[in-house]
Amino acid sequence: MSKKALIIGSGLGGLSTALRLSDKGYKVTILEKHTTPGGRLNRLEMDGFTFDVGPSFMSMTYELDELFASVGMKSPVELEELEPLYQVFFRQHERPFRIFKDLKLLEKEFAGIEPNLAEKAEKYLQRAGQFWHDTEDKVVKTNFDNKLEYILKLTRVPLKHLPYLFRTMWTEVEKTFDSEEVKVIFSLVAFFLGSTPFQTPAIYSLLNYTEMRHNGYWKVKGGMYRLVVEMMKILEAKGVEIKYQTEVTGVRNSNGSVVSVVDNHGNTWDADIFISNSDAAAFRGGILKRPAFREEKLDKMHWTLAPFTFYLGVKGNIPVLEHHNYFLGDNFRGYADTIFTSEIAPQKPYYYVNVSSKSDPSCAPEGCENIFVLCPVPDLRYKKDWSDREELADNIISDLSERTGFDIRSNIICKKIMDPVDWQNAFNLYKGSGLGLAHDMDQVGAFRPKNKDEEFNNLYYVGASTTPGTGLPMVIISSRLVTERILEDHGTV
Ligand SMILES: Cc1cc2nc3c(=O)[nH]c(=O)nc-3n(C[C@H](O)[C@H](O)[C@H](O)COP(=O)(O)OP(=O)(O)OC[C@H]3O[C@@H](n4cnc5c(N)ncnc54)[C@H](O)[C@@H]3O)c2cc1C
């Protein structure tokens, strides 16, 4: 008889694990607290507009190919590469700057601002690329049984990379580029890790390499959520069952194993193995009541910034906007230093704007655009009260109208805001943190919550807050690592 696997959560990490385990003969059931699958990779439909709720692009798309290849299939979604990757609006410049992978085009874009940009960027990317290739297989895509094994693996990384560990990303860009504008551009990737370049270790300049050289940025044709839709079709065909509006609230255990989990309706669900796609640190604290993960301990950990997002259906076209746009203020350092711990909403916020109707007209009615705004804000440890959410959205709408020369407010057809409380409640994100645990050196590798439980021999973890880390390609890798562990411990069926 097939062994039963129960997965708590249907984020990309949970769905990818379901795919891999069902292919190995496990009978998989997923319990999901939300009304739809996908977790943060979700979709919002309103008045004829469709929005991607969270992720709007991905890198390292070969991980997606590997996921489907591992079950003998081709990826069911079509990907489209972004070039330019995005455009950036600086307050002190009238025109936006397009960020190209092609360094010659990038140099032209910054002519008169950063001399010899292509040559400097080439050197910078080569160095970041060497680091990536020296660590990708040895450190990122591997399981560790203990800290010693992890440290031994780190010692196999060439010593020349050591300074990377002790510098911040900002120091690294400062050494390479002269203009504030280009330094800011090359350090923006720190925000993709939910942090700032002044806190993020220089090793993450490898993200510059993955975005600009290695594999670039891609979007899914038809919207990012198509990936979830297609995966659900495959999982259904493989007999995977999913129950929505079913939140796991407790576990029952015996002799060092989990026997069943209990849901919010009081039902119990038994299985041979259990995989939590719920946050790996918060689940240990909130559900398993582990002292090392109780609230005071969790609060001391370094969490990524919370998302403040809103979704606007707008009448008319805004020619100056492209698919991906960043709107920056004029005090990068000051903003970055206060953004984490401020108790008030940012007054002159930095924000990201995504308009997927630019390349996919099916996302909006004719003559209209779908605008998704993401503003990173402090998590709920610092700013708990979001009763001023309309004010912050309004502030951004005014700024965006001014900088695009288009009166957005009078053309709004529909609007939905998600503040950090909404994000927390929708997907159980700890204190609303958008990307989960941050990636400081003491929170990665063997120092990140493990993908195998410390006490229960049949409980595992997958997703952004376990190894290797956050972002769509990383949670796909996480599903591979946890599947390897499960097969090693429990075998195929
Ligand atoms: C606004 C935003 C923008 C982003 N943009 C990008 C991007 O452009 N590119 C990129 O690569 N990454 C992006 N990310 C990061 C990316 O979304 C995440 O790293 C990834 O989706 C995490 O997947 P996951 O499977 O770990 O968790 P989740 O997507 O959070 O899934 C976990 C699931 O578990 C469910 N759950 C939790 N607790 C329970 C419980 N007790 N019982 C039952 N169900 C439970 C939740 O409801 C959820 O559905 C973005 C994130 C945010 C918030």
Among the listed residues 381, 378, 293, 364, the one whose alpha carbon sits nearest the alpha carbon of residue 323: 364
pLDDT at 344 over 90: no
* CATH entry 3.50.50.60 includes domain 4-35+244-300+437-490: yes
Q: Which atom of ligand 1 is nearest to the CA of 41?
A: 21
* Ordered DSSP codes for 56-83: --BS-THHHHHHHHTTT---SS-EEE-S
Q: Whose CA is nearest to atom 6 of ligand 1?
A: 55
The pTM for the full model equals 0.96
Q: Whose CA is nearest to atom 12 of ligand 1?
A: 471
């410390």: which residue's tokens?
454
Q: Give the side-chain half-sphere CA count within 13 A for 82.
A: 27
pLDDT at 194 over 80: no
Inter-residue contact 147 to 446 (CB < 8 Å): yes
pLDDT digits (tens, 9 = 90+) for 240-258: 999 999 999 999 999 999 9
Please indicate whether residue 54, judged by its CB atom, sits closer than 6 Å to ligand 1: yes
To test the pocket of ligand 1, the residue of 16, 40, 424 to mutate (highest count of ligand atoms within 8 Å of its CB) is: 40
pLDDT at 138 over 90: no
pLDDT of residue 348: 84
Q: Whose CA is nearest to atom 1 of ligand 1?
A: 54
CA of 426 to the centre of ligand 1 (A): 10
Among the listed residues 97, 89, 90, the one whose alpha carbon sits nearest the alpha carbon of residue 117: 97
d(CA 413, CA 312): 7
| Position 339 confidence tier, pLDDT thresholds 50, 70, 90 | confident
What is the token pair recorded at 404? Answer: 């695009």
Cα torsion angle, 404, 408, 409, 410, sign: positive
- Would you identify the CATH topology of the domain 102-215? Guanine Nucleotide Dissociation Inhibitor; domain 1 (1.10.405)
Whole-number Cα distances in Å, 9 to 29, 247, 380, 405: 10, 8, 22, 42
Q: Which atom of ligand 1 is nearest to the CA of 56?
A: 8
Q: What is the mean pLDDT of residues 312-318?
A: 97
- Secondary-structure percent of the chain, ordered helix, strand, coil, rounded to 5: 40, 20, 40
Strand ranges inside 13-110, DSSP E:
27-31, 43-46, 49-52, 79-81, 86-89, 97-99
Strand ranges inside 397-452, DSSP E:
412-418
Please indicate whether residue 194, judged by its CB atom, sits closer than 6 Å to ligand 1: no
What is the token pair recorded at 280? Answer: 């790996």
To test the pocket of ligand 1, the residue of 189, 277, 421, 431 to mutate (highest count of ligand atoms within 8 Å of its CB) is: 277
Among the listed residues 399, 392, 437, the one whose alpha carbon sits nearest the alpha carbon of residue 417: 392
pLDDT at 192 over 80: no
pLDDT at 43 over 80: yes
Strand ranges inside 205-317, DSSP E:
218-220, 241-243, 248-254, 257-263, 268-270, 273-276, 306-315
Please indicate whether residue 479, judged by its CB atom, sits closer than 6 Å to ligand 1: no
Cβ neighbours around 439 below 10 Å, total: 25
* Ordered DSSP codes for 361-387: GGGS-TTEEEEEEEEEE--TTT----T
Q: Whose CA is nearest to atom 35 of ligand 1?
A: 9
Better-scored residue on pLDDT, 348 or 466: 466
Which of 53-67, 151-165, 237-251 shows the lowest mean pLDDT across its residues? 151-165
CA of 12 to the centre of ligand 1 (A): 7
The separation between CA 459 and the C-alpha centre of its own chain, rounded to angstroms, equals 24
Inter-residue contact 138 to 153 (CB < 8 Å): yes
| Position 107 confidence tier, pLDDT thresholds 50, 70, 90 | very high
Please indicate whether residue 10, judged by its CB atom, sits closer than 6 Å to ligand 1: yes
Nearest-5° Cα angle at 129, 125 to 130 = 125
d(CA 31, CA 90): 44
pLDDT of residue 153: 84
pLDDT at 155 over 90: no
Which residues 6+ apart lie within 8 Å of 170 measured at CB? 183, 187, 197, 198
pLDDT at 181 over 90: yes
| Position 167 confidence tier, pLDDT thresholds 50, 70, 90 | confident
Please indicate whether residue 51, judged by its CB atom, sits closer than 6 Å to ligand 1: no
pLDDT of residue 284: 98
Q: Which atom of ligand 1 is nearest to the CA of 462?
A: 26
Strand ranges inside 178-296, DSSP E:
218-220, 241-243, 248-254, 257-263, 268-270, 273-276
Alpha-carbon Rg for the chain in angstroms: 22
Please indicate whether residue 277, judged by its CB atom, sits closer than 6 Å to ligand 1: yes
The amino acid present at 174, given as its one-letter code, is: E
What is the token pair recorded at 431? Answer: 């204190």
Q: Give the side-chain half-sphere CA count within 13 A for 214.
A: 23
Burial of 253: CB neighbours in 10 Å, binned 0-12, 13-18, 19+: middle
CA of 96 to the centre of ligand 1 (A): 31
Please indicate whether residue 464, judged by its CB atom, sits closer than 6 Å to ligand 1: yes
Q: What is the mean pLDDT of residues 305-325?
A: 96
pLDDT at 165 over 90: no
pLDDT at 3 over 80: yes
Which of 67-76, 238-247, 337-346 shows the lowest mean pLDDT across its residues? 337-346
Please indicate whether residue 451, judged by its CB atom, sits closer than 6 Å to ligand 1: no
DSSP 8-state assignment for residue 214:
I
Please indicate whether residue 9, judged by its CB atom, sits closer than 6 Å to ligand 1: yes
pLDDT of residue 259: 98
pLDDT digits (tens, 9 = 90+) for 255-268: 999 999 999 999 99
What are the residue ranges spanned by the domains of the chain? 4-35+244-300+437-490, 102-215
Q: Whose CA is nearest to atom 47 of ligand 1?
A: 427
Q: What is the mean pLDDT of residues 189-193?
A: 81
pLDDT at 489 over 80: yes
Please indicate whether residue 432, judged by its CB atom, sits closer than 6 Å to ligand 1: no
pLDDT at 166 over 90: no
H/E stretch holding 185 reads helix 180-187
Please indicate whether residue 469, judged by its CB atom, sits closer than 6 Å to ligand 1: no
pLDDT at 394 over 90: yes
Inter-residue contact 179 to 160 (CB < 8 Å): no
H/E stretch holding 353 reads strand 351-354
pLDDT of residue 331: 84
Per-chain mean pLDDT for the chain = 94
Q: What is the mean pLDDT of residues 136-153?
A: 88
What is the token pair recorded at 354? Answer: 């995504």
CA of 40 to the centre of ligand 1 (A): 4
Please indicate whether residue 41, judged by its CB atom, sits closer than 6 Å to ligand 1: yes
pLDDT digits (tens, 9 = 90+) for 400-440: 999 999 999 999 999 999 999 999 999 999 999 999 999 88
Among the listed residues 419, 440, 379, 397, the one whose alpha carbon sits nearest the alpha carbon of residue 168: 440
CA of 463 to the centre of ligand 1 (A): 8
